[in-house]
Amino acid sequence: MVNAIQVIAIDGPSASGKGTVAQLVAEKLGFHYLDSGALYRIVALAAQQKNIAWDNAEALGELAKKLNINFKNGEIFLGNDRITELVRSEEISRGASEVAIHPQVRNALFDLQQSFRKAPGLVADGRDMGSVVFTDAKLKIFLTASVEVRAERRYKQPIGKNTIHKGLGANYAQILHDLQLRDTRDGQRRTSPLIQTPDAVLLDTSNRTIDEAVEFVLNEYNKKLHKNVLSH
Ligand code: C5P
């Protein structure tokens, strides 16, 4: 059945800026926003709190099915606990990419991700939004930047309204190394690896500002909408 609610899928590697771009595009269009990476981060954090190892696929799958996750005003809650900054630590970033390799975890999060598809539309950011979760997305963007540019951005990145670095205590070289490891893990895992599907539009932000990237996505989306009108 065709789902009339439009989705813009924005996939790409860690720290490419896709989260910021996706949120701004959602804001401009009045669409909902799904930060799918946050879900994997929450699984890693919840597992750590419950002493479940990040390689225990079965237990992680069960845990992921039962999580009580809430996104409210830019904050993330697990049960009653506000975990917005906790899930952004470098340790949990690594944990997220470790728990994300397990099909049990990915399957458990599939329906939850789809439930974000609500009128008037959704901008979803992650690794497999266009390739697996929202294969019928109106627009698929593969947003990337060189690993050096991404490491520099993450190094300087504040969290939310605070000025805490995502890489709290980490230096540039360490962040670069972690990003390279995560790129390899995300790109080479067997289930839902990070890939640019043939129907996705490439957006390299190495030499673009955030505003330019947002403009690019909105333009591409308008082109898709226009194309539909013409072909009817
Ligand atoms: O996007 P973010 O860096 O927050 O994602 C954290 C981790 O979650 C990624 O490194 C990736 O391993 C995993 N992830 C995923 N599929 C998604 C979103 C994130 O595997 N759709």
At position 23, the amino acid (one-letter code) is: Q
Residue nearest to atom 2 of ligand 1 (CA): 37
- Whether 100 maps to a domain, the answer reads yes
Residue nearest to atom 9 of ligand 1 (CA): 97
Q: Is the CB of 102 under 6 A from ligand 1?
A: no
- Whether 134 maps to a domain, the answer reads yes
* Distance of alpha carbon 91 from alpha carbon 103, whole angstroms: 21
Q: Is 157 or 76 the better-scoring residue by pLDDT?
A: 76
- Whether 122 maps to a domain, the answer reads yes
**CATH number of the domain where residue 14 is located:** 3.40.50.300
Domain housing 95: 2-225
CB 108 within 8 A of CB 19: no
90-96 average pLDDT score: 91
* Distance of alpha carbon 15 from alpha carbon 23, whole angstroms: 14
Q: Is the CB of 137 under 6 A from ligand 1?
A: no
- Whether 231 maps to a domain, the answer reads no
CB 227 within 8 A of CB 139: no
* Distance of alpha carbon 78 from alpha carbon 168, whole angstroms: 22
* Distance of alpha carbon 23 from alpha carbon 21, whole angstroms: 6
pLDDT at residue 231 greater than cutoff 60: no
- Whether 230 maps to a domain, the answer reads no
The strand pair at 6-11 and 121-126 is best described as parallel
> With bands split at pLDDT 50, 70 and 90, how would you rate the model's confidence at 160?
very low
The Cα diameter of the chain in Å comes to 56
Which atom in ligand 1 lies closest to the alpha carbon of residue 129?
Answer: 21
CB 180 within 8 A of CB 147: yes
Q: Which of 10-14, 45-49, 168-172, 189-193 has the lowest mean pLDDT?
A: 168-172
How many domains does one find in the chain?
A: 1
**Is the four-CA dihedral 160, 162, 163, 167 of positive or negative sign?**
negative
- Whether 232 maps to a domain, the answer reads no
- Whether 45 maps to a domain, the answer reads yes
> With bands split at pLDDT 50, 70 and 90, how would you rate the model's confidence at 228?
low
Query: Residue 138 corresponds to which tokens in the numbers above?
Result: 């109106």
> What are the tens digits of pLDDT across the range 18-72?
999 999 999 999 999 999 999 999 999 999 999 999 999 999 999 999 999 999 8
115-128 average pLDDT score: 96
Q: Is the CB of 122 under 6 A from ligand 1?
A: no
In order, the DSSP letters of 136-176 are T-SEEEEEE--HHHHHHHHHHPBPTTS--BTTTT--HHHHH
pLDDT at residue 106 greater than cutoff 90: yes
Report residue 82: phi and psi, to 5°: -85, 120
CB 82 within 8 A of CB 75: yes
Q: Is the CB of 9 under 6 A from ligand 1?
A: no
The per-residue pLDDT for 165 is: 47
CB 26 within 8 A of CB 33: yes
Give pTM, 2 decimals.
0.90
Half-sphere exposure of 147 (CA within 13 A, CB side): 12
